[in-house]
Amino acid sequence: MNKKYLILFLLGFVLIFFLFKTQITGFFNFLKLHFNRIETNIYNELSTLKNQSLEIKKLKKENVFLKNKIALLNSLLYNCKDFKKLIKDSNLTLAKTISYASLPDFSMIYIDYKPRGKFPKGLVYNNLAAGIVVKGVGNYSLAYLNSNKKTSYTVYILDANSSVPGIFNGKNNIIKYIPKFKNIKKGDLVITSGLDGIFYKGAKVGVIEDIEDKNLYKEAKVKLFYNDLEPNYFYVVDKFDKIGKKEEGRDGIKKH
């Protein structure tokens, strides 16, 4: 009995298939096309998501790079925030590097600063102490960078309560003759004092990274802010020549 119904069902199915073959084939083609479209849309969406993911990673890297650049620019702006006033008040003169003075010594350079007034003069870069101008050579000048053993100028070490005096010496980046009774510590800021007639007060030198007690004084190792491996341009501090000229104009006598 069951076989009879099964045979009748199969015959009926075959008959219906042949009668509606075109419609059934069209229906299956429609389904196939529809699913192909779905598959294509899914593939496109996945590709878009993949591209977006790659773009997000790229943008994250660029964001980190730009944040670092912004941090660098902020530090430069911080160093330069009073630089416009310093240029006006201190009569700074722009000077570009011409060449090294005596290779392979990278601590001496010639700059296009026409000699005038007395020497030495402070050399600053973005309000960072970079070295000293020591003498004129023709229409140019010879300068010692901080890494030169002959570079020397007075500084203040800024602790919590006072400004501690000392004398910076180049090459080993040591501050000498620090009063023994003064309490200084690692991380203290070092600036030029301006009392030696070389710099104005406040050009940044570096921070204290080590301290050593001597018999009569203390000495401190400085981590410098200015990197003198890529000398480019500087400002020469002409402040004290300018003051001297003003004083000379009053009574005809130079006062230095």
How many other CB atoms are there within 10 angstroms of residue 189's CB atom? Answer: 14
CATH top class, domain 92-256: mainly beta
This prediction has a pTM of 0.61
Residue 115, preceding peptide bond in cis (omega within 30° of 0): no
Q: Which residues contact 115 (CB under 8 A, 6 or more apart)?
A: 135, 136, 137, 139, 140, 141
Domain ranges of the chain: 1-81, 92-256
Q: What is the pLDDT along the chain (256 residues), one digit of tens a residue?
A: 566 666 665 666 566 655 555 666 666 666 677 777 787 888 787 888 878 878 888 888 888 787 767 765 665 555 555 555 555 555 788 899 999 998 898 999 999 998 877 889 999 998 899 999 999 998 899 999 999 999 999 999 997 678 899 999 998 999 999 999 888 999 999 999 989 989 988 899 999 999 999 889 999 999 999 988 778 889 999 864 443 343 333 333 344 3
